[in-house]
Amino acid sequence: MKDSLAVLTDSAGWLATFAAEHSLEPLPGVSPDDVTAFPFVLAVIDGKLSLKQTGAGSAGPVYVDFTAGASDHRRKFGGGKGQQIAKAVGVRGSFLPHVVDATAGLGRDAFVFASLGCRVTMLERNPVVHRLLADGLQRLQQCDDPELAAIGARMTLEQGGEQGGEQGGEQGGARDWLESCAADSCDVIYLDPMFPSREKSAKVKKDMVAFHHVVGMDEDADDLLPAALQACIYRVVVKRPKGAPHLAGKAPALELKGKSNRFDIYTKKALPKG
């Protein structure tokens, strides 16, 4: 990561410290459009911490914004409690589980859970993605819309789910965090590890190339499942591409299948009646 990502330190005072902590190249006084020696930059762009690919023809920046765009559209028109993802984590009636999203990424699914009324604890190992998520969460919690701010108040980003170091591998920080939990202490644990696509048609969207480059693939994600099963009360839910193998080679008790993804559900205890 340190050879491909630079930090534009003039865009926010704390970014110089962040660059030093993670051995990233600081670039003071430089515009993202002028960077040529690094394929990606981290900078504050239009008030949002952003990860941007450099070079001619590159896509726009990747950032976390829960107050507009796809996240807000999904909140309003995504189907509410009728969505498969809601059914997978056990949202029904008045029962709203506390969900630990152990591979939070950009927080998109975590925001869905919180918008349904669930309390959500997010873990994210990669330090760059962790900072992107923290920035988006802060803006959500401080926004003027009371409904959105209330959703943000139900979302917590744990520092314990972050680790420095090389790209890839969600399991280090998240696994350690889960293993530190008392047995049967988390209602539902949700896992969505990065999975390498083998389908030529399933190309990564251009604006997500930077994100996938920084995060890498979770080749060690199998290690998360035993820790999650130990820590959960009711179930572990694993989101997978439709044709992907089961995590850790373990068949789930239930599956919910969609057009391109499925939810593998590992049950431990019956859900309360809602």
**Binding site annotation covers 187?**
no
CA pair distance 187, 121, nearest whole angstrom: 11
| pLDDT attached to residue 74 | 80
pTM of the model: 0.90
Domain total in the chain: 2
Amino acid at 52: K
Q: Is residue 61 included in any domain, yes or no?
A: no
**Binding site annotation covers 92?**
no
| pLDDT attached to residue 76 | 79
- Give all strands (DSSP E) within 97-230, no chain letters: 99-101, 120-122, 155-157, 186-191
**Binding site annotation covers 192?**
yes
**Binding site annotation covers 125?**
yes
Whether 168 and 33 share a structural domain: no
Model confidence over 48-77: pLDDT tens digits?
999 999 988 888 899 999 998 888 778 877
| 88 neighbors 263 (Cβ within 8 angstroms) | yes
Mean pLDDT per 10-residue interval, the chain, length 274 residues: 87 89 92 90 94 87 91 78 94 95 95 97 94 96 96 91 47 84 97 69 60 75 94 98 93 93 97 85
CB-based burial label for 224 (10 Å; 0-12, 13-18, 19+): buried
Q: Is residue 157 included in any domain, yes or no?
A: yes
Parent domain of 134: 69-200+207-267
**Binding site annotation covers 108?**
yes
Whether 42 and 15 share a structural domain: yes
Model confidence over 110-158: pLDDT tens digits?
999 999 999 999 999 899 999 999 999 999 999 999 999 999 999 999 9
DSSP assignment of 49-60: EEEEE-STTPPP
